[in-house]
Amino acid sequence: MKFDFSEDQVMLRNLIREFLTDQCPGSHVREMIESETGFDREIYRQFVQLGILPFPEQYGGGDLGMVEQAIILEEMGRIPYPGPYFATVMLAGSALQLSNDENAMARFLPDASNGDLIMTLAFTEDDTGWTADAISAEAALNGESVTLNGRKRFVPFADAADIILTVARTPGTSGQDGVSIIAIPADAEGVSTGKEMMFDVTSRTATVEFTNVSVPVENIIGEAGAAWPVLEHVIRRAAVAASAEMLGASRRSMEMANEYAKERKQFGQFIGQFQAVKHMLAEMLEKVENGHAAVYYAAWALDADAPDAALAASVAKSTMNTSSRKVCGDSIQVMGGIGFTWEHDLHFFFKRAKNLEVLYGDVDHHYDQVLNEVLAGRVAGAGD
Amino acid sequence: MDLRYTEQDQAFRSEVREWLEENVPRKKLETLDEKKAWHRKLYEAGYLGMGWPSEYGGRDARPMEQAIVGEEMVRARAPAPVNGLGISIVGPTLIHHGTEEQNQRHIQKILTAEEIWCQLYSEPNAGSDLASLQCRADIDGDEFVVNGQKVWTSGAHNSDWGLMLARTDRNAPKHQGISCILVDMSSPGVEVRPLKQLSGSQEFSEVFFSDVRVPADNLIGELNTGWRIAQTTLSYERGGNTLSRYTRMQESFNRLLDVVGIVKRDGAALIDSPHIRWRLGKVYADMEILRYSSLRILSRLERGERPGPEASIAKLHYSELDKAIQEVFLDILGPYGQQIEGIPDHIALEPDTDPFEPGSWAYAFAWSRAGTIYAGSSEIQKNILGERVLGLPKEVRADRVQATAQQASSSGNGDD
């Protein structure tokens, strides 16, 4: 039983923290969010070239596991990093890897690994759910090509993406049947993106409309009409990755509030001396440490293909959904008026956490999943 | 990271499970002798004091092995050892701070339950503010003379010995005038008056001391260092076995799943209500977090690290969680949850439970209220986390202001 990071994992965390604090100080985050694309292409390129990707080595990745990705995402949450790492690596990259489609991986992953290719996954539609029932975009096979029609919303970094992996179903199918993932070049005819601006200004999304977009059948990732199990797994990984990011945002907020409580004086004493504030911070610490246990347990369970991997992912996401709103929100409360200014960085964490709360399953979705897993007996054994 | 149980752990678990299957008493333990016999059996099997050094009758067991025994005992519904405080608090205190002579005299008897021990800490005016305790132990030749009162003393009515904190210097600042003393509960002048608790059961007592003479040899450590010793014993209490607490919650949850599949309300099985499903999902998620964090603590203990102030996170977490969970259980069960006698078998938490005895939903609910009070209340844990982990400045406290003022006036200057 070893819950601690290995030496390599500690080195990875230090490397990422050093890179991000050097390259993405608060001042530069503000420049990035004011820019057209919302991120810095050069920093993104250098970042993915650190050799930290989960992709297989033959495609330029570092073959790293989910625990390592959680470490990276937690560090990103501490900035919070604005850029298409999550979209390219955790969403589109996971879809390619989990589809086991060697051709597609050979086609896209090497360029993604050196930062030349940005990808995203278009899943969400007007119906903003995360089950197969939420998918109504249609992909009609006709001979050697496939024609896509539909509208996707909240597609992460769709504006910057070169390839949009789009989830659509064969006309006439329903539920988990007939769902496919199709690689659509962003510049294909019939693809148009519409601007969205979210409360979390450090993350970019767009609405993407597909009108009779025709691509060769080779662009279907994995098997046509059989992608649901892959997507379920992609969403599970994304839920854990998002939880890691929320953990980073929460811990960083708590640290800032804690420092402030040691410096700020009111009524002739440090506000951190008041139990009202001290106990709030103690509860935040408890939530952050429990969140750490949940996120890394879930990441490990995915890597180990443990029987309770799905359960653990839902536990991690539901927990971070409720904890991060509390921790990031209470940090603002501790900081008072200063915490409510645009000038202070605290609101970026609060908003990033809020953004991630509704993605890859909200708290209701995951409590439901938890009970389903328990009733199906997919829980951890006691080592027996 | 590797969160698998090792083959060694798994083999040990099967061994423990097998032993418990064969040996857990089939009928309820009624008398103190029966309870002592079961305790002794557990010890002889190697399942008590297992982490203690072998020279004192332990087996230098790893923390994981201790956790496994804790979990398996819950699963097997094995009665808890009657000398629980002796094992969890007194033994470790003696091993760390006792003299060789004290250890030779007591440790073996703690393990075999020949001596049952209680912890004489809290007083009517010293609960959370334990260091303000007033029970006195005055030195008279080679004896202490103890006068005062203790309260909320678990198991005092059965105890042969008590681990006491008493004031030995009334002029020193409050934390520096306390000593830790072993008291023979059969000494003349000791009076135990049992107290009935909110749960209806009677596990704890008030204890009165009138001119009780205690040999000076019964002092643990140096005179007036009792507070420091108590700090370490409190952290044993807090470092505790959180994994077995999870297991207990999980056992109850699994039982509740059986019940909600059968019991109907407004014509439909409880499990079919989306509201109940939501709450069950939430409770299970919250319980899993306790499991993960317990494994994290265990992994730290396995590496040889002692539980530090972080143990307060575990204490705060499991005790508050237990309260929240028991509330949900009672919400779902409706009036059945509060029934202490005559509950139908298919709804009972455990069959054959007597009123005011462990094993009913209501009893577990009642006891969840104690967890956030004993062994350092939730409020104290949050102070510890705030001050010792987060490094926040200490609050302005009336007793500290007073102590500073006294010091200033007695030394004749106001520099301090």
Question: Hey, is the C-beta of A2 within 8 angstroms of any chain B C-beta?
Answer: yes
Do A228-375 and A121-221 fall under one CATH topology?
A: no
Query: Domain A121-221 has what CATH class?
Result: mainly beta
Question: Hey, is the C-beta of B16 within 8 angstroms of any chain A C-beta?
Answer: no
pLDDT tens sequence for chain B (416 residues): 999 999 999 999 999 999 999 999 988 899 999 999 999 999 999 999 998 889 988 888 998 999 999 999 999 999 999 999 999 899 999 999 999 999 999 999 999 999 999 999 999 999 999 999 999 999 999 999 999 999 999 999 999 999 999 999 999 999 999 999 999 999 999 999 999 999 998 888 999 999 999 999 999 999 999 999 988 776 565 545 788 999 999 999 999 999 999 999 999 999 999 999 999 999 999 999 999 999 999 898 888 887 677 788 989 999 999 999 999 999 999 999 999 999 999 999 988 788 888 889 999 999 999 999 998 999 999 999 999 999 999 988 888 777 777 766 665 443 33
pLDDT at B416: 34
Measure the CA angle with vertex A212, ends A134 and A230; round to 5°: 40
**For B5, which of A1, A6, A368 is closest by C-beta distance?**
A1
User: DSSP assignment of A117-163, as one string?
Assistant: --EEEE---SS--SSGGG---EEEEETTEEEEEEEEEEEETTTT-SE
CA B1 → CA A10, A168, A241, A287, A378, distances in Å?
11, 37, 17, 21, 22
Q: Where are the domains of chain B?
A: 7-82, 117-222, 240-389
Token pair, residue A246, equals 């929320």
* B12, B260, B284: best to mutate for the A interface, most A CBs within 10 A: B284
Residues of B whose CB is below 8 A from A368 = 277-278, 281
* B129, B238, B289: best to mutate for the A interface, most A CBs within 10 A: B289
CA B61 → CA B12, B56, B58, distances in Å?
11, 13, 8
Between positions 339 and 378 of A, the ones with CB within 8 A of B are: 364, 366-371, 374-375
Contact flag B1-A4 (C-beta cutoff 8 Å): yes
Residues of B whose CB is below 8 A from A297 = 3, 292, 295
Q: Evaluate the CA torsion angle B329, B330, B335, B339 in order and state its sign.
A: positive
For domain A7-86+93-117, the CATH superfamily is Acyl-CoA dehydrogenase/oxidase, N-terminal domain (1.10.540.10)
Residues of B whose CB is below 8 A from A286 = 313, 316-317, 385
Residues of B whose CB is below 8 A from A272 = 386, 390, 392-393
Of residues A73, A121, A115, the one with CA closest to residue A96: A121
Of residues A211, A154, A205, A204, the one with CA closest to residue A184: A211
For domain A228-375, the CATH superfamily is Butyryl-CoA Dehydrogenase, subunit A, domain 3 (1.20.140.10)
For domain B240-389, the CATH superfamily is Butyryl-CoA Dehydrogenase, subunit A, domain 3 (1.20.140.10)
Contact between B320 and B378 under an 8 Å Cβ cutoff? The reply is yes
pLDDT tens, position by position, A50-104: 999 999 999 999 999 999 999 999 999 999 999 999 999 999 999 999 999 999 9
Contact flag A262-B295 (C-beta cutoff 8 Å): no
Q: Is B237 among the catalytic positions?
A: yes
pLDDT at B414: 36
B35: helix, strand or coil: helix
Is the preceding omega at residue A80 within 30 degrees of 0, hence cis? Answer: yes
For domain B117-222, the CATH superfamily is Butyryl-CoA Dehydrogenase, subunit A, domain 2 (2.40.110.10)
Contact between B40 and B47 under an 8 Å Cβ cutoff? The reply is no
CA B303 → CA B63, B188, B246, B308, B399, distances in Å?
9, 46, 22, 14, 40
Interface A–B counts its CB contacts (< 8 A) at 170
pLDDT tens, position by position, A107-165: 999 999 999 999 999 999 999 999 999 999 999 999 999 999 999 999 999 999 999 99
End-to-end CA distance of chain B: 50
Contact flag B284-A371 (C-beta cutoff 8 Å): yes
Contact between A138 and A177 under an 8 Å Cβ cutoff? The reply is no
Contacts of A57 (CB under 8 A, 6+ apart): A63
Measure the CA angle with vertex B67, ends B65 and B68; round to 5°: 65
User: DSSP assignment of B190-210, as one string?
Assistant: EEEEEE--TTS---EEEEEEE
- ipTM entry: 0.95
CA–CA dist B197, A134 (Å, integer):
54
CA–CA dist A173, A211 (Å, integer):
20
Instruction: Nearest chain A residue to B13 by CA: give it.
Output: A384
Count of beta carbons in the 10 Å neighbourhood of residue A219: 23
Q: Where are the domains of chain A?
A: 7-86+93-117, 121-221, 228-375
Contact flag A281-B386 (C-beta cutoff 8 Å): yes
How is domain B7-82 classified at the architecture level of CATH? Orthogonal Bundle (1.10)
Helices and strands in chain B: count of H runs, count of E runs = 13, 10
CA–CA dist B363, A87 (Å, integer):
51
Q: Locate the DSSP E strands across chain A.
A: 119-122, 138-142, 145-156, 163-169, 179-185, 191-195, 205-216, 220-221, 265-266, 269-270
**For B393, which of A4, A270, A366 is closest by C-beta distance?**
A270
Q: Evaluate the CA torsion angle B230, B232, B236, B238 in order and state its sign.
A: positive
pLDDT at B415: 35
CA–CA dist A97, A106 (Å, integer):
11
Where does B127-241 have alpha helices with state H?
A: 226-239
% of chain A beyond a pLDDT of 90: 98
Between positions 157 and 216 of B, the ones with CB within 8 A of A are: none
Residue A384 burial by Cβ neighbours in a 10 Å radius (0-12, 13-18, 19+): exposed
